[in-house]
Amino acid sequence: MKQNPSQWTADEIKAKLLTDDVWLIRGLIAIFNYQTAFEQSAEQTQENNSVGFNGVDGYILTAIAKFYQKRNFLSPKQLVIVRKKMVKYAGQLAKIATPKESLESKASQDAMDEMEADFRAERDGEAKIS
């Protein structure tokens, strides 16, 4: 049991990303939403603002996030790529999931609220993520 159930650590998030496809996809979309509109459209990282995908991952993860938003699924190959790359974003996701902390961005608040609710439900032992 967690000592402070209101906070998720990067290691806990990383473990979820490595074992749960739903968490993986939600994490991908959450980080994608932290990209600026220009970065999302150009499929590359332009700003050094410590949020969103890094320059190496910007193109591939943005393309995969857009694919998911359009088709509502990822192929097994895409899942392997996303799983390999997303673990480095566990710290950003921990900040998103922790109610007392927030990242400054132009991300969709609705998407962030949904992800936070999912993290809280998981923390509280509810099976909300589906």
b/e 24-60 (16+ beta carbons within 10 angstroms → b): bbbbbbbbbbbbbeebbeebebeeeeebbbeeebbee
Taking a C-beta distance cutoff of 8 angstroms, is the pair 38, 120 a contact?
Answer: no
Distance CA 27, CA 44 (A): 18
Q: Whole-model pTM?
A: 0.67
Give the contacts of 70 (CB within 8 A, at least 6 positions apart): none
* Among 16-20, 21-25, 42-46, 92-96, the least confident range: 42-46
Q: What angle do CA 14, 20, 25 make, to 5 degrees?
A: 85
Q: Which pLDDT score, from 0 to 100, does residue 95 have? A: 86
Report the interhelical angle of 76-86 vs 21-33 (nearest 10°).
Answer: 70
Give the tens place of pLDDT for each residue, 44-92. 555 555 578 887 888 899 999 999 999 999 999 999 999 999 999 999 8
Name the average pLDDT for the chain: 77
